[in-house]
């Protein structure tokens, strides 16, 4: 997992696309605008965190990212959508954090 500087708040872009404001936006040094969806699960009873991102959710995230970039033409760079999955530990151990780069594409 790499540290990326946060570029902007996503509240207005996500609201515009009908999404809750759970998407973070950053720009990495290679001029890639990175949108990050974070999913958390305390247990695996309902599956892994990354499994909660359905085809419909991917479409909404992509639409939110595209709407945000249209509203902010000053952000110049390629688009990437990442997922960070946080798996809790019922035993009190530190959570397992997995970063999936380029997890969502427009194809």
By the 8 A CB rule, do 25 and 35 touch?
A: yes
Q: Considering the domain boundaries, does residue 8 fall inside one?
A: no
> For 68-82, how does the pLDDT look when each residue is reduced to its tens digit (9 = 90+)?
888 888 887 788 899
Predicted confidence at residue 71, as pLDDT, reads 87
Q: Considering the domain boundaries, does residue 6 fall inside one?
A: no
- Kindly tell me if the per-residue pLDDT of 10 is higher than 50: no
- What token pair was written down for 74? 């000053």
Q: Considering the domain boundaries, does residue 91 fall inside one?
A: yes
pTM: 0.72
For the domain that residue 27 is a member of, what is the CATH number? 3.40.1350.10
Q: Are strands 32-41 and 6-8 parallel, antiparallel or unpaired?
A: unpaired
Q: Considering the domain boundaries, does residue 75 fall inside one?
A: yes
Q: Considering the domain boundaries, does residue 49 fall inside one?
A: yes
By the 8 A CB rule, do 66 and 102 touch?
A: no
Enclosing domain of residue 74:
16-104
Evaluate the CA torsion angle 74, 80, 35, 26 in order and state its sign: negative
Q: Considering the domain boundaries, does residue 11 fall inside one?
A: no
Say whether 6 sits in a helix, a strand or coil.
strand
Cα(47)–Cα(50) distance, integer angstroms? 8
Query: What secondary structure, in 3-state letters, does 39-63 show?
Result: EEECCCCCCCHHHHCCHHHHHHHHH
Q: Considering the domain boundaries, does residue 2 fall inside one?
A: no
> For 24-46, how does the pLDDT look when each residue is reduced to its tens digit (9 = 90+)?
666 566 678 888 899 989 888 88
Residue that wins the pLDDT comparison between 50 and 17: 50
Q: Considering the domain boundaries, does residue 9 fall inside one?
A: no
Predicted confidence at residue 43, as pLDDT, reads 84
The total of structural domains in the chain comes to 1
């Amino acid at each position: 997992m790499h540290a990326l500087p946060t570029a902007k708040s996503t509240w207005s872009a996500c609201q515009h696309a009908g999404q809750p404001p759970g998407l973070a936006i950053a720009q990495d040094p290679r001029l890639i605008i990175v949108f990050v969806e974070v999913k958390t699960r305390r247990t695996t009873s309902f599956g892994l965190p990354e499994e909660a991102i359905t085809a419909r959710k991917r479409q909404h995230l992509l639409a939110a990212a595209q709407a945000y970039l249209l509203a902010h033409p000053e952000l110049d760079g390629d688009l990437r959508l990442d997922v960070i999955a946080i798996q809790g530990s019922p035993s009190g151990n530190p959570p397992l954090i997995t970063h999936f780069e380029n997890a969502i594409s427009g194809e």
